[in-house]
Structure 1
């Protein structure tokens, strides 16, 4: 943090005039970029940055283009942050930009506990505004997404990551078979969900995190915030965990959005769930390669199990009714309780308890978040040590990709359901959809 004081002060003096830097602190969360809150001359700001140009090497566009996009959205009436300056090479802080800070709630749990009455309508309206931005104001660097090409890239990545997860292979094949016809492109935010919006007493206050934006199908944005993972446990409220799809779609269409096609919406719900399953695997690869050695990356790598569970829930209707009614096979037997020396699982439990009792209470800010992530990692290891549960099955994955095996095969859906339940129980036992699937499937 100290290394930012001098260069950030110099940058703000040039950008906003004389002042004194105060309250510089890294904000918790932010899976891909650093965000730093601070005050300058009595006003609140946020620095969004990557520490080096190398960190941005695999990004589709640079921070200067992202900042230009956010400025275009703000000027077009979208509740995007107000950018006040863009970092240059001479500023010595990597790449990024500074925005005026919006004072509002961003924590999904707090928002969903008591959402403003207007919020679902606000979300539909704001998305329509994003999609209505004229193409000529969008920076040229913002890419155009071809759905078939993007799906082929997901398949390529899956094969690079081993090509051995049947639920992911099933979803890839389904998307190939249900690829929608091209439509006129709009600006797609591509990360429009709880966690990337800010809310105050009047409703939606800001739309954050524009780094994945592209030109493409409006239904991709419509579906993304409705994924199970982004409803944060509110499974009975399919639109953002806040309300009904009918109210969400109606608000979007009334505000000028394209007419909602339910089949196209379902395709994008499957596609983006598949995309995030591979995104989780990619996080693990980033840790393994050394590109990002944080514990957060390796833990997110184990959240693939959540998305595999969700993919089965989205695609199980492709199976015949008698297969959907079939009883599940039993889980692997549970290891016997230890009676001798402490087991590996007990050793991990002891370290995890020590971190929770001793380290976490003393940590502050982002360090407290990192301790919580590390404890989560140890919890996964502790549950996994004696379970003997694996998700990999390359022959079955290859059969799904080739179309030689489908969910009509007797007993296959039940086998996949059992595997998804057992793997998610180890990797994400508190995932809300796990309990719902266990009840629905008799597991």
Structure 2
């Protein structure tokens, strides 16, 4: 019932916004799946198809460096410069009564990472993505809004440190990453426009061709290596851990295509810095999702589930950082896995959650669109509850985190790497057991298949 009321309100507000642009009534309004921060709604006006991009609440926009008006202006500039950005056709006003956002013409193609990864010519798509990113980086600042911020590298690291402290300051692997960042901030380069979220999930593709680049809310000026690195993070490669460039191919091919399209010569050391930076950034971003939900800024189920994806980033971060550990520590065997007790008697809370999850699976065929997506998220949440009493989940240690940040301990400390490896494996196995990199890390660190 609430969903129907919301759709009616959205349709009325959309009609008001579209009328200002001389367009007709919106029809067939449908919530799209995905979107970790903003909502997306597809609709039609006559025979034309459009997408509404909208904040879940006005409170959700507070504290952001710029609003949807600036984002829309950036997309317009990118579209005019030949980037595969959508055409913005209308922006929401307060009198529309449906919050903050804008309307774009719908583009062909799918954003589904698994569908994209299954396309026949991933190398072709990788070349096109690299070229599009080079075009974004070449946009003239004079054609862009003045409100776009410029990332100061040291201030960015300090901001991550503040987020870590606000989140409890008790996750040793993130502390290790923060200390590495503080010690390895590179010299600044001439800033270019960064998309800020250029990865699988935010691009559209069809028949192995790039058809669109979405979600420009994190745009800023900075080092071009940041954009290049973000899309290559393990978490954004989904099932293709073996393809380090956006899950589509090798890094050398990606870098060569980017440079050929006019991008700067890629520096591997800068690329590594920004890969580690963005892995820490996303780990802390995942943690913050639970706070958005607690404060009521967005009570979407996906918000709390994403918060548990911090363990994915902790594992990936440790894999990146362990390259600097002494060979002796890298060769140390892991601590034994914690034994999970066998339950007896009445059903536990975890078993009840698993039973509900199994029942929800029987409803999958009755769901479609965003409801089907939410059902999958709900089952993930119940799986986390089912594993919630697992003793392996306890991976917080404020004292160790403080020692790492102070430089009192590091990866040369005897036994620390082995301990962190065990913690990362066990926590992720309890949180997101299907994360593709988990099996690879387990095989690397334990020899298990």
Which residue among 176, 184, 203 is the counterpart of 1:197? 203
In structure 1, how many angstroms separate the alpha carbons of the residues matched to 2:294 and 2:96? 32
Aligned to 1:85: 90
Aligned residue for 1:274? 280
Alignment counterpart, residue 241 of structure 2, candidates 235, 253, 269:
235
1:101-120 to 2 correspondence within 5 Å? 101-116=106-121, 117-120=123-126
Partner Cα distance (2:15, 2:200) in 1: 32
What's the CA shift for 1:60? Answer: 1.1
**Equivalent residue for 2:71, pick from 66, 88, 97:** 66
Moved more, 377-386 or 188-197: 377-386
The aligned length equals 440
The one-character-per-residue Cα deviations of 1:207-233 (angstroms, maximum 9, x if unpaired) are 100000001110000100000000002
CA change 1:99–1:108 in 2 (3 A) is same
The residue that corresponds to 2:394 in the other structure is 390
For 1:423, the equivalent position in structure 2 comes to 427
C-alpha distance in 1 between matches for 2:390 and 2:248: 39
| 1:154-185 CA distance string (max 9 Å, x none) | 00110111000000000000011110001100
1:389-431 alpha-carbon deviations (Å, 9 max, x no partner): 3110111100000001011111110000000000000001001
What RMSD over aligned residues (CA atoms) do the two structures have, in Å?
A: 1.3
Q: What's the TM-score, normalizing by structure 2?
A: 0.95
After the TM superposition, list the runs of 4 or more consecutive aligned residues in structure 1 that deviate by more than 4 angstroms. Answer: none
Maintained 8 Å contact 2:392/2:427: no
Name the counterpart of 1:22.
Answer: 27
Is the 8 Å Cα contact of residues 115 and 242 (structure 1) preserved in structure 2? Answer: no
**Are the structure 2 counterparts of residues 306 and 27 from structure 1 closer, same or farther at C-alpha, using a change threshold of 3 Å?**
same
* CA-to-aligned-CA distance 1:4-60 (integer Å, 9 cap, x gap): 22232232233143x343221111111111111111121111111125432211211
- Asked if the contact 1:332–1:389 (Cα under 8 Å) also holds between the matched residues in 2, the reply is no
Does residue 218 in structure 1 map to residue 251 in structure 2?
no
Q: Give distance in 2, aligned partners of 1:62 and 1:319.
A: 43
- Stretches of structure 2 that go unaligned for 5 or more consecutive residues are 1-6
Change (3 A) 1:78 1:412: same
Q: 1:371 maps to which residue? A: 375
Matched, 1:436 2:445: no
- Give the distance between the partners of 2:215 and 2:444, measured in 1 at CA: 35
CA contact (8 A) 1:85 1:99 kept: yes
Q: Which residue of 2 aligns with 1:133?
A: 139
For 1:401, the equivalent position in structure 2 comes to 405
Counterparts in 2 of 1:362 and 1:370: CA distance versus 1, 3 Å: same
Asked whether the 8 Å contact 1:220–1:268 carries over to 2, the reply is yes
Give yes or no for contact 1:226–1:238 (8 Å, CA) kept in 2: yes
Alignment partner, residue 3 of structure 2? none
- Give the TM-score normalised by the residue count of structure 1: 0.97
SS at match of 1:334: coil
* Structure 1 equivalent of residue 149 of structure 2: 143
User: Per-residue CA shift, 1:338-374, capped at 9, x if unaligned?
Assistant: 2x2222222121111122224x333332122112111
- Is 1:154 aligned to 2:126, yes or no? no
In the TM superposition, residue 115 of structure 1 has moved relative to its aligned partner by 4.7
CA–CA distance in structure 2, aligned partners of residues 101 and 328 of structure 1: 50
The question of 1:412 aligning with 2:433 is answered: no
Query: Which of 170, 181, 185 is the aligned partner of 1:164?
Result: 170
2:179 alignment partner, one of 154, 165, 173: 173
The answer on whether the counterparts of 1:12 and 1:40 sit within 8 Å (CA) in structure 2 is no
List runs of 5+ in structure 1 lacking aligned partners. none
Partner of 1:292: 298
Secondary structure of the residue aligned to 1:314 is helix
Q: Is the 8 A contact 1:108 1:195 kept in 2?
A: yes
Q: Matched residues in 2 for 1:51 and 1:352: separation?
A: 27
The answer to whether the 8 A contact 1:51-1:93 is kept is no
8 A Cα contact 1:108 1:194, kept in partner: yes
Q: What does residue 4 of structure 2 align with?
A: none
